[in-house]
Structure formats: C-alpha cells, structure tokens
Amino acid sequence: MEFPLTLGLQKTGLPLIISSDNLCFLIDTGSTHNILFSFVYEHFKDRFKVLEERRNIIGIDGVQHEAPTIEAIFNFEGMSYTSFFAILDASEAVVQVQEETGVQIHGVLGTQFLVENKWIVDFEKLTINNVK
C-alpha cells in the first residue's frame, strides 16, 4: 500500500487518514501512544474492547493523564487493523482544529501503530507505505 498524505496536508496542514468507518486519524510520529478521543469512545463504546490496563500519557495540554485503554479495530485501504488506544479528553484541541480547518479529528495514530503495522512515513514523497 502506498497512501498519499497530500490531501490532508493541503486541506489542514496535517497528515491525516480517514478509515472506512469515517474516523479521521492524525499520523503523529512524535506520539508514543495511539489516542482515541473520549467523545468518539463515548459515541462508539460498544465497538471497543475495554482493557484493564491504564496508561499514563502526556496530553495535548502537556499535562500527564491516567487514561483507560481499549483495543480497537478499524479498516483502512481494504485492510483491517487492530491496535491499543488510550482514551483522552482533548475536546478543546479538537474543537480548535475543527474551527480552523473544518475537519474533525477522532484520534492519533502514533509510533506504536506505525511500528506494529510496518507503516513507513516517507516525508520526501509525503506518503505512507506498508511493507507487509
């Protein structure tokens, strides 16, 4: 798979992917954890497996939060992906991005996801490549 990041970058200035479930994820190579925003979790709660593990993560606000962890499955470009996500309330940041760009972001795919699924971000070509 080679997926261009140009559309998200042109519209918002952010590297975004949209799953076939219409979830919009920010690709963040600086994030060690995958994040699903709490408003998405509340809306689709029955689709996720809640895990006993809780993670300490530094939120968008720079403050450490203890976050519940879920296992989520989503589809992208004809492939099904399963990964662990920390649930984080980032309402203010999500609203700000939506007001500035017109796009609502539902979560973050961090290096955990990229490594697990062998996704390589090519910053020169502005693509994501999957070596599976």
| pLDDT, tens digit, 9 for 90 and up, residues 29-83 | 988 889 999 999 998 888 888 888 887 777 666 778 788 999 998 889 888 999 9
Q: What does the pLDDT look like over 7-34, one tens digit per residue?
A: 888 888 889 999 988 899 999 998 888 9
CATH number of 30's domain? 2.40.70.10
Distance CA 50, CA 84 (A): 10
Q: Per the structure, how many domains does the chain have?
A: 1
pLDDT of amino acid 59: 67
At residue 25, the pLDDT reads 93
Distance CA 53, CA 107 (A): 19
User: Does the pLDDT at position 108 exceed 90?
Assistant: yes
What residues contact 19, with CB distance under 8 A and at least 6 apart?
Answer: 25, 74, 75, 76
Query: pLDDT grade, residue 89 (50/70/90)?
Result: confident
Per-residue pLDDT band for 86 (boundaries 50, 70, 90) equals very high
**Domain carrying residue 110:** 2-130
